Chain A
C-alpha cells in the first residue's frame, strides 16, 4: 500500500471539528434553539493580528468540507478544493480559511436528526425552520469562539453567496470583503416553484411520516431522489446538458418502447438522485429550500435593495455566469446596481461560462484568475 500522498496545492489531510454552544440562539421565526453544535474545518494558520481569516459558506448539498481530504478516504475531496489551498486563488499560505456548516444541516451541526434535549428523541419535524440570517448569527458565535473579530472576507456561491452577503449586513464591522458568487438577492417565483415541487416530492413520500421517519427506521428515499433530480436540472444549462448527454441512448440501439432508462440523461439523473438519497436528510432539504425561499434582505426596506445594503461596510466582488438560468446575471446585476447606488466599493465580473449555475464550482481560468487577483489585494 502506498503512503497517503498530498497532491501539490492541496491542503492535504483535514479533520472536521465541532464547536458546541450552550447559549440559546433566538431564530428569525421566533423559535429558540436551546443549544447547538456547528461543524467546521480550518485550513492555514490564523496570523498574530487575527486579520487573515476567510469564511467559506457552502450551498445546498455541500458541507464544511471545503478542501483537502479525510484520512483513509482520499476520494472525498473538499467541494472547493480547486480554489482553496497553498498557491491556489484562495491561498492558505496567506489566509486562514474556515469552512463552516450551518444549523439545520445533516453534516454534523445541530439539525433535524439531532436529539431534541426537551424530548431525548430526534427533533424530526419539530426542528425549527432556519434562515440565512440565523446561519450567519450562528457562524458569528463560531467566529467569537475562534477569536476572529473581523473576517478578511466571506465568500460563497449560490446559497453560500447569500450568507456572504448577509454577513456584510448582519455584522458590517466584522467582514471586510464580501464575495458573492452566482447569487440572487431573492428567489423568483420560478425558483420557489422548483423548491416547492422538491418539497412536495419529499412530503408526499409514504416514508416521510410527517417528518418523524427516524423513529420508524425509514428514509423518504423516493422523495429525496426526485427532489435532487429536479434540483440538478436547474443547476445545469440546457447547452451543458445537451453537450454532455445529447440524446444518447443508454446501452441501446433504439428506443425501448417501455419506461426503463432510454436516454443517458435519465440514467444520470437517477444516479444523482440515488447518490443524494443515500447521504442527505429529507428534513434538512425541506429547511434549506425554505431558507432559500425566505431570503430577501430588501423585504424589510419596502423592496428597496439599495436601502437594505446601506449598512454594509465591506467591499464587494460580485460574480455571475452567463449560462446560469437558476440565478441569472440579471439578479447579480440587481445586487451590483444596489451597491453602486449606495456608493460601495464594488467590482463585478460576468464570466462567460457554459455550465449553468454550477459554473461557480469550476476552475475556469478567468473566474479563478479574477478571484486570485482579488484575494491578492486584500490587505491583512
Chain B
C-alpha cells in the first residue's frame, strides 16, 4: 500500500471498510465520489473499474486529476442513466444524510447495483444525544456542521436506518460500526459515530413458490 493510500484509509476509516467489501474486478459506482480517492484506491488495489458521480465542479476536476471516470450529475435527479444491474456495487459514502429523496435513491441504488454499500454519521451516538439533551444541536467530528450551515437534511440513527431498510425490503448483509477509526461492537447505536452497511436486494419470498 502506498503512503497516499494509507493516509486516505486512516483519514476515512469507512472507506477502508468499503474497500474490504468490494470484490476484486467488481464494477463500482461511487455516488458523491468527491475527488475520486476511493475509486482510485479501488482501481489500484483491486482492479475494480468504476464511475463516480459528483456534482461539484472543482471535485470533478480533482477526479480527472486522479484519473478516475467521473460523471458530473446530480444524484437527486436519479440514476436513470444506468441500466438495471449494471454495477456489482453502488457506494454511497457519507452522503446519505444530505440526500433529499432518500427512499428513491436507495431503491435506485439496488436497481442499478447488485449490492450497495452505505456509510453515514450515527445520530444516535452518545455525544449527539447528550448535546440534544443539553438543549443544543450536536456538533462533533462525525457531524462537523452547525444547524444553520449543515448540508445534512436526513440524519438518522442505526436503528432508524435498519427500520428503513426493512420498510424498503432491503437486506442488511453486513454492518460495521466505527468510532475514532476503531470498530465498535458493544452498544453500537450509542458508542459508534459512523456506520457502514453492505446491503443487498430482498431475497425472493419463500411464499411465492
Contact = CB atoms under 8 A, between A and B. Distances in A.
A345 B58 contact: no
B65 to A, nearest CB: 4
Given A346-B69, A348-B72, A366-B58, A333 B63 contact: no
Given A348-B72, A352-B57, A340 B64 contact: no
Interface stretch (B78-86, B117-125, B133-141): B78-86
A337 B83 CA distance: 9
A336 interface: yes
Contacts of A351: 57
Contact of A347 (B57, B62, B64): B64
Contacts of A374: 64
Contacts of A377: 64-65, 67
B61 A336 contact: no
A370 interface: yes
A350 B55 CA distance: 9
Nearest to A350: B72
Contacts of A76: none
Contacts of A373: 61-62, 64-65
Nearest to A333: B81
Given A336-B81, A337-B81, A370 B64 contact: yes
A347 B83 contact: no
Contacts of B161: none
B60 A345 contact: no
A346 B63 CA distance: 12
Between B63, B69, B81, the greatest number of chain A beta carbons within 10 A of the residue's beta carbon is seen for B69
Interface string A341-361: 100011111111000000000
A366 B54 CA distance: 14
A341 to B, nearest CB: 6
A334 to B, nearest CB: 10
A333 B79 CA distance: 12
Contacts of A15: none
B81 A347 contact: no
Contacts of B62: 373
B106 to A, nearest CB: 21
A315 to B, nearest CB: 8
Nearest to B74: A350
Interface residues of B, number: 20
A99 to B, nearest CB: 24
Given A333-B81, A340-B82, A341-B83, A348 B61 contact: no
Interface centre among A336, A349, A352, A369 (most CB of B within 10 A): A349
Interface string B81-108: 1110010000000000000000000000
A376 interface: yes
A349 B57 CA distance: 8
B83 A370 contact: no
Contact of B71 (A336, A352, A366): A336
Contacts of B83: 341
Contacts of A366: 57-58, 60-61
Nearest to A378: B67
Contacts of A336: 71, 81
Interface in B38-63: 49, 51, 57-58, 60-63
Interface string A284-316: 000000000000000000000000000000000
Contacts of A352: 57
Contacts of B82: 340
Given A340-B51, A341-B83, A347 B61 contact: no
B81 A370 contact: no
Given A336-B81, A341-B83, A370 B61 contact: yes
B71 A370 contact: no
Given A333-B81, A340-B81, A366-B58, A348 B73 contact: yes
Contacts of A348: 70-73
B38 to A, nearest CB: 16
A345 B57 contact: no
B17 to A, nearest CB: 27
Contacts of B63: 347
B69 A349 contact: no
Interface string A59-76: 000000000000000000
Contacts of A341: 83, 86
B69 A345 contact: yes
A86 B51 CA distance: 31
B143 to A, nearest CB: 29
A370 B69 contact: no
Q: Which of B61, B65, B67 has the most chain A CB atoms inside 10 A of its CB?
A: B61
5 contacts: A345-B49, A346-B71, A347-B64, A350-B73, A373-B65
Closest 10 CB pairs of A and B: A373-B64, A373-B65, A366-B57, A377-B67, A348-B71, A369-B61, A350-B72, A349-B72, A337-B81, A347-B70
